[in-house]
Structure 1
């Protein structure tokens, strides 16, 4: 049995459809192509786009925040941790109250 060949334009079109629709299976069914084949085309397109990228884009530096930005992010992070701790405590208290007020009520809230 001979392998079926698909033109590059069709492959590119289907890869764009997958990126827009988000579902390889749907696009493959719509066009009568094996979903594994289409998945391979999508994967290959990611690698080829990286290879086509200019060298400057590949050598970009990682973002390093200034000391002031770092302090602000650290402060926000601590506030979020405190808020999360309060929410966890509230959930634990409410779960405990629920168990005490309804001893026959079985809960698996974890």
Structure 2
């Protein structure tokens, strides 16, 4: 027997998309709400498409998100290395 698909309220979808944008991690948000990660990523993609109907603007928005994620990862790496150096008694 195939389970029936569940319909989610637009407000709930918007909240999930907002959380994904804040955290940058669709899998984590999906896990918190007990949702399928691919469905959450689809909601984010649909929200981006609705915001940027022009394909070129959409690709720029996706690139912007990717670059922000890379910058956040780099900032975290720098903070971890600085913390390590402080613990070793070294100053940079």
* Alignment TM class, shorter chain as reference: 0.5 to 0.7
CA distance in 1: counterparts of 2:25 and 2:4, whole angstroms? 28
Which has the higher Rg, Structure 1 or Structure 2?
Answer: 1
Q: Which residue of 2 aligns with 1:21?
A: 23
Higher relative contact order (CA 8 A, sep 6+): 2
Instruction: Name the count of aligned residue pairs.
Output: 53
Q: 2:6 aligns with which of 1, 4, 13?
A: 4
CA distance in 1: counterparts of 2:42 and 2:28, whole angstroms? 15
In structure 1, list runs of 5 or more residues that go unmatched. Answer: 59-110
Q: Which residue of 2 aligns with 1:47?
A: 49
Instruction: Provide Cα deviations, 1:45-72, integer angstroms capped at 9, x if missing partner.
Output: 0000123x9xxxx8xxxxxxxxxxxxxx
Shift of 1:8: 0.2
In structure 2, list runs of 5 or more residues that go unmatched. Answer: 58-92
Shift of 1:22: 0.4
CA distance in 1: counterparts of 2:7 and 2:22, whole angstroms? 24
- TM normalised by structure 1 equals 0.46
Three-state SS of the structure 2 residue aligned to 1:4 is coil
